[in-house]
Every structure is written in C-alpha cells, then in structure tokens.
Amino acid sequence: MRILLVEDDRMLGDGVQAGLGAVGFAVDWVRDGESALAALAGEAFSAVLLDLGLPRRDGLSVLAELRSTGNRVPVMILTARDQVADKVRGLDLGADDYLVKPFDLDELAARLRALLRRSSGRANACLRHGDLVLDPAARTVTQRGEAVSLTSREFDLLNVLLDSAGRVLTRRALEEQLYAWGDALESNALEVHVHHLRRKLGGDVIRTVRGVGYMVDEVPG
C-alpha cells in the first residue's frame, strides 16, 4: 500500500517512513504543502498522512485544495494541535481521521489499515479468498487453516491484489502501490513475485490478463 507522508519535521518524517515501511507500507515523504499537492496530482496513493503546520502551504489548505479537485484519497491528519475546534475543522474539510502527536507507531499503522479498509468498503480486518485468509495487521496468510510463509514483498503484492479483488491491476498500478520513490525496482521483479506466490498458494489464485496485468477473482470466504 502506497502512502504519501507530508511532514516538515525531518526526524519525525524519517521515523514514520522507516516505521511504516517495516510493516509493509510503501511511504513517500514530502516536506511541504506545495510538494504534497504536486505529488498527489501526479500519482495515486492509497492514503495521505498530513501534518497541519507545513511550510509554504498549510496542511488544511492542502486538504481543501485536494477535496476541491475531487480527489477522494483517504487523509489522516497528524498534528500537534489537539483543540477540539482544530479537529472539527480538519474533519469537516474532508479528513478521514485525526491523530495527535506524539502518537504510537502501532496505533498509526492500525488506524491506517482501518482507513484503507473503510475506503475499500470492507468491514472485516482480514481479506478472504475462498480458503485463503490474509491478516494485514498480523501480516500472516493462512490457506485451509495452515500458515503460508511469504516474503515481505510477496505479502504486500498479495495484499494489494486481494484488496482489489475482481479488478485487473496493471503492472504500473501494482508497482506504484508496492514501491516508494527511490526503492530499487528490479526489472521483471513483479513476475518473479507472482511466480513465487503461485508456487506457494497454487496456480489458480492469481490470474494473468495478457498484455494488461494481474487480478484475483472475487471469491467470498
């Protein structure tokens, strides 16, 4: 899941990027409001973590601008402002969640997962595909009740595919969701990961749509 982090504090941004990266999010980090809008105009993100006190353009104004252009990406505000009025203003401007600094890394990750879950219209925390169950919080996958051992990238790929079950995802869309800027992007890495997943889960889970990309069928659990 690709996340845009907008935070002007160098140390906090660095920490959030590393911490969320360790639990499977691909985090792109910009440090001012203008760069945030530029990044959001160019690419698709699953969610935005937005600080309010930003140089060059205030977080609330970034949010207002974003919503006025019709962008519906889930936004979580990360801020030191804890007054109720600030929260109300942020949420009314179109934010989906509000976390006051200092926050816990686990809580941030959990709220982010909840946000993504809600935005894809699911209530259940786990993703199911027949007898295949993926738990994004615990980062575990079970098939027919037995644990399947996956690498971090394989897990993230399966997560993205299951999250958009029933839709074809292009290679480009998949790569955007899986890799943050600056991540080493090996050529045909995607094919390798798909190949490994098929070997571990069976060939019928991920379907190849020739010339377009990959998809997972919608199979209720």
Per CB under 8 A, residues contacting another protein are 8-12, 14-16, 18-19, 22, 53, 55-56, 78-83, 100-106
Distances (CA, A) of 187 to 79, 165, 184, 190, 191: 39, 25, 10, 8, 9
C-beta of 106 vs 218, nearer to another protein? 106
Q: What CA–CA distance (Å, rounded) separates 212 from 210?
A: 5
Name the residue among 69, 66, 63, 104 with its Cα closest to residue 86.
63
Phi, psi values for residue 134, rounded to 5° = -115, 125
Give yes or no for a contact between 115 and 94, defined as CB atoms under 8 angstroms apart: no
Nearer to another protein, 83 or 124 (CB): 83
CB of 9 to another protein, least distance (A): 5
Contact 220/211 with Cβ under 8 angstroms?
A: no
Instruction: Indicate the residue among 53 and 130 with the shorter CB distance to another protein.
Output: 53
Min CB(103)–another protein separation in Å: 6
Closest to another protein by CB, 55 vs 130, is 55
Find the shortest distance in angstroms from Cβ 108 to another protein: 8
Least distance to another protein, CB of residue 90, Å: 14
Q: Taking the alpha carbons of 137, 127, 118, 69 in that order, is the dihedral positive or negative? A: positive
How far is 141 from 173, CA to CA, in rounded Å?
A: 23
Minimum separation from the CB atom of position 64 to another protein (A): 20
Which C-beta is closer to another protein: that of 34 or that of 131? 34
